[in-house]
Chain A
Amino acid sequence: MVLAVFDKIGAAVLGATDTFGDFAVLAGRAFIAIFKRPFDGKNLLNQFNSVGVNSIPVVVLTSLAVSMVFAVQLAFGFRQFQAEGLASQVEGLAVMRELAPVITGLMLSGRIGSAMAAELGTMQVTEQIDALECLATDPIQYLFVPRLLASMLVVPLLTIVSVYIGFWGGYLILVGVEGQSAYVYGHEFYKLLAFRDLRIAIYKGLVFGMIIALVGCWKGYRTEGGAEGVGNAPTSSVVTSSLWILISDFFLTKLLLV
């Protein structure tokens, strides 16, 4: 009875270690493959397009919505202490440090991570990845690297876009609705921020981009079992990468903010 429980726990731990080990090995191979020839510029450009350009609307809309609703909450909250002036400072702090990177990361894990998992998953079950292998092309280099690079560049960039949109989202509410002075808002938004905060936001974007691409590609690459497998890959990639984005956000904040 007790042994059976230990058995189960042991099996679960072993399973988790296996999975993580597999991910780590593939991720390592992907990073090594970045420096290998031949470098596939055309493929990379395609990825920039599908990963970057097409994600702008999603990021703009979600950042606007979140920053606006946050500003409404802040205005309401600080009014209770007659401290409306603080709302714009806190808005700036929240947008730059947490909202922009995390919202961008989560949205893109749904937008591009899942697409990567679905695409590679389909390639896996239709033997296209085997065909790549047979044409002496490393699928890690051919498929993972462009997606990883594109995502590591695009997520930080979109994080900056998100900060910028966040500024205007707060502006709409605090200046437009609450009637604060536009000049003061523009000033106060950045008051509690230093250049370091922008750097941290970019680091976070970089790490989130890495997580999104690696988890998406890994889940796709390890797809098995036909249509059902292809259906599960994106879901599981979004769940896993969102989880890791939130966990790593905590540690990045802890580490970088001190």
Chain B
Amino acid sequence: MPVIDVVNLSKAFGPKVVLSKVNLQVEEGESLVVLGGSGSGKTVLLRNIMGLLTPDSGHVAVEGKIIAELSREDLFTVRQSIGMCFQMAALFDSMTVFENVAFGLRRHHKMTEDEIRARVEECLGMVGLKDTDKLKPAELSGGMKRRVGFARAIALKPKILLFDEPTTGLDPVMTDVIGRIILDLKHELGVTSITITHDLKSAFEIGDRIAMLFRGECIACQAPADFKANPHPVIQQFLRGDADGPFLQDPPPPKRNPQEAHA
């Protein structure tokens, strides 16, 4: 049984259809990477899995439980085993970095203050933010906030992790560090994860399988090697990073040749 099972999921906001009949299965211990253009509904997909949005039709099941049908108590029980890293970090701005990362530990674990401190320092150390624990989120840079959000998501050692663009806005070195942490979690703790990213290099490193959302549909979901070889023109254009092709709805501005551009 897949740990995360997305079945015929459709979601629209008013007339705007964001997801239509998306099917995705993530097996235990597997790491799925979701690619897709900006605004293609990747965040909406994660929010449906988390139960922050209710599907218009279809359903999401986590460990066999259909999220939209759970009572609030059961939903919170399921969520205790899921860590989510938000695209905009969503740190609690009235708390310090330390309190942010410790939040879940304090509420759901019977840990002593020393154990909590040790775990928080470990998590912050992993993302290279050892000395920031007394700062407020307002005093952090965008990339630092994102890393604190990442640390908060992994602090509870959840079985399932959902990352919404954990590396966007980070420098290439830090991006690699985050990729390594995700792989470590997978190999050491057997974590099941879904990672949304725009960074193709880390996508191919992290992903056991790669899915691609395009105009509300999931047009591919396969192993990295197969994905690279997928003949679908949209996928090939996406991998090349070229503006010309079927990916954009409106034609892009014309391309100049390099000499002209630098003249």
Is A131 at the interface (CB under 8 A from chain B)?
A: yes
Chain A 117-141 near chain B by CB (<8 Å), digits 1 or 0? 0000011001110111111111000
The answer to whether A128 touches B107 (Cβ under 8 A) is no
Chain A 46-68 near chain B by CB (<8 Å), digits 1 or 0? 00000000000000000000000
Alpha-carbon distance between A224 and B132 when the two chains are bound, in angstroms: 32
Residues of A within 8 A of B152 (CB): 135
Min distance, Cβ A58 to any Cβ of chain B, angstroms: 22
The answer to whether B86 touches A136 (Cβ under 8 A) is no
Min distance, Cβ A44 to any Cβ of chain B, angstroms: 15
Query: Given that A126-B90, A128-B92 are known contacts, is A134 also in contact with B107, CB under 8 Å in the complex?
Result: no
Min distance, Cβ B51 to any Cβ of chain A, angstroms: 8
The answer to whether A38 touches B107 (Cβ under 8 A) is yes
Residues of B within 8 A of A127 (CB): 86, 88, 90
Query: Given that A127-B88, A130-B86 are known contacts, is A136 also in contact with B93, CB under 8 Å in the complex?
Result: no
Residues of A within 8 A of B79 (CB): 133-136
Residues of A within 8 A of B103 (CB): 135, 137
Min distance, Cβ A50 to any Cβ of chain B, angstroms: 11
Is B40 at the interface (CB under 8 A from chain A)?
A: no
* Total contacting residues, chain B, CB less than 8 A: 23
Query: Given that A38-B107, A127-B86 are known contacts, is A134 also in contact with B50, CB under 8 Å in the complex?
Result: yes
Is B237 at the interface (CB under 8 A from chain A)?
A: no
Given contacts A127-B86, A128-B92, A136-B79, 19 further A-B contacts (CB under 8 A): A38-B107, A123-B92, A127-B88, A127-B90, A130-B47, A131-B84, A131-B86, A131-B90, A133-B51, A134-B50, A134-B83, A134-B86, A135-B104, A136-B76, A136-B80, A136-B104, A136-B107, A136-B108, A138-B76
Residues of chain B touching chain A, judged by Cβ–Cβ distance below 8 Å, are 47, 50-52, 72, 76-77, 79-80, 82-84, 86, 88, 90-93, 103-104, 107-108, 152
Residues of chain A touching chain B, judged by Cβ–Cβ distance below 8 Å, are 38, 122-123, 126-128, 130-138
The 10 closest A-B CB pairs, nearest first, are A127-B90, A131-B90, A136-B79, A134-B84, A136-B80, A136-B76, A135-B104, A130-B52, A128-B90, A128-B92
List 21 contacting pairs A-B, 8 Å CB cutoff, sorted by A: A126-B88, A127-B88, A127-B90, A128-B91, A128-B92, A128-B93, A130-B90, A131-B90, A131-B92, A134-B50, A134-B52, A134-B84, A135-B79, A135-B104, A136-B76, A136-B77, A137-B76, A137-B103, A137-B107, A138-B72, A138-B76
